Amino acid sequence: MNKIKYVHYLNQFYGQIGGEDKADQTPFIVPNSVGPGKEIEKLLGDEGEIVATIICGDTYYGDNLQEATDTIIGLLKGLDFDCFIAGPAFNAGRYGMACGSISEAVYKNFNKPAVTSMYHENPGSEIFNKEIYILKSGKSAVSMRKDIDKLVNFSKRLVRDEYIGFPDEEEYIPQGRRINVQMEKTGAVRAVDMLIKKIKGMDFETELPMPVFDRVRPAKGLETISKCTIALVTSGGIVPQGNPDKIESANASKFGKYNIDNVNDFIENEYITVHGGYDPVYALKDPDRVLPLDALKQLELDGFIGKVFKYFYSTVGNTTAVSSAKRFGEEIGQDLRNNNVDGVILTST
């Protein structure tokens, strides 16, 4: 049998060209395996090889979703390959977006199997799960070996057009499809079985999980904005110099609340960012680029708004658990209500 020809997608970090300083890198192609791709090839043995690796900076991809995708599709035109693998992206948000987006585009443009792997809380997993298979990875590169092993095995089966089972047993993100299967018992018998289990207080598994619409009803719009108090909140990690609350640069466990009564502008060195997931050069030079205090204070002076609330709230939204973010939002929202704040501007990087 011929060797399976793979194309592999990596970000700047795993593509070994650099860290956040190279996150603006535009997509380029190399005719061999790189970084995690070496491990993929090792596992493939005689069965396959990586004929090309695409490397692109995370910030470039995130800022230019469409252009980045188009460029990469252009790079792949005319290339002879059988399968596309992206990542694994673990819980890295921008990387997950890139892996999902490019895998879906390759699948749609070339009609070749494409598969990626990321942590189930990665936003990319909820956006790109419908067309392609996204295998569930660990949270960080600690599980790299295991996740690559899964990717390789799964991709081989896709290439051979083998039967793929249900999301739970195969450990991929559900795609929202319905598939006909033959069961031993009829629906009526299964339903009664479930009902009896439910009445007895035993565990049972529904065959039709209800979708969770975790939506929030929009609050009423502000009427007289010139009399309103507006608060600033960010997940971009802007804090006073020295990071007094020791907010973590990734997977934050807390948020900070800082007085800006007498601050009209975030000045370099007085305020910094502690976010570990984007190039901090621009924000360190002028933190207003992430949390626009100077402009909001001017709008207060010009009478467009009543007041800037005298505290701002900050945390780091870098691989931070959804449950933590929810808790921060609830606590901040409660505090804002207690202080009669009318509206909130929240910035994310």
Partner 1 sequence: MVKAIEAQGIPAVHICTIVPISQTVGANRILPGVAIPYPTGNPYLTRNEEVAMRKKMLLTALKALSENIDSQTIFD
Footprint of partner 1 on this chain (CB under 8 A)? 59, 62-63, 65, 93-94, 97, 123, 126-127, 214-216, 218-223, 225, 228, 230, 233, 235-236, 278-283, 285-286, 288-292, 294-296, 298-299, 304-305, 315, 317, 325-330, 332-334, 336-337, 341-349
| CB-nearer residue toward partner 1: 29 or 65 | 65
Q: How far is the CB of 215 from partner 1 (least distance, A)?
A: 5
Q: How far is the CB of 102 from partner 1 (least distance, A)?
A: 14
Return d(Cα 339, Cα 310) in angstroms, integer: 10
Residue 47 corresponds to which tokens in the numbers above? 């069965």
Task: Specify whether the CB–CB gap between 235 and 349 falls below 8 A.
Answer: yes
Q: Please choose, from the candidates 57, 71, 62, the residue with its C-alpha nearest in 3D space to the C-alpha of residue 25.
A: 57
Residue type, 103: S
| CB-nearer residue toward partner 1: 36 or 317 | 317
Task: Specify whether the CB–CB gap between 150 and 157 falls below 8 A.
Answer: no
Q: How far is the CB of 44 from partner 1 (least distance, A)?
A: 33
| CB-nearer residue toward partner 1: 53 or 320 | 320
Residue 319 corresponds to which tokens in the numbers above? 């691989």
> What is the SS3 assignment for 53?
strand
| CB-nearer residue toward partner 1: 289 or 310 | 289
Residue type, 172: Y
- For CA atoms 320, 322, 324, 327, the dihedral sign is positive
What pairs with residue 313 in β-bridges? Answer: 233, 257
Q: How far is the CB of 95 from partner 1 (least distance, A)?
A: 12
* Angle at 282 (CA atoms; ends 281, 288), nearest 5 degrees: 135
Q: How far is the CB of 126 from partner 1 (least distance, A)?
A: 5
Return d(Cα 231, Cα 193) in angstroms, integer: 53
Q: How far is the CB of 285 from partner 1 (least distance, A)?
A: 7
For the chain, how big is the Rg over CA atoms in Å? 24
Task: Specify whether the CB–CB gap between 134 and 119 falls below 8 A.
Answer: no
Q: How far is the CB of 250 from partner 1 (least distance, A)?
A: 15
Return d(Cα 41, Cα 80) in angstroms, integer: 17
Return d(Cα 92, Cα 121) in angstroms, integer: 10
| CB-nearer residue toward partner 1: 87 or 280 | 280
Return d(Cα 282, Cα 291) in angstroms, integer: 12
| CB-nearer residue toward partner 1: 86 or 341 | 341
Task: State the DSSP H helix or E strand holding residue 4, giving kind and residue range, or none if neither.
Answer: strand 4-11
What pairs with residue 50 in β-bridges? Answer: 6
DSSP letter for 17, please.
S
Q: How far is the CB of 226 from partner 1 (least distance, A)?
A: 10
Q: How far is the CB of 55 from partner 1 (least distance, A)?
A: 18
| CB-nearer residue toward partner 1: 22 or 150 | 22
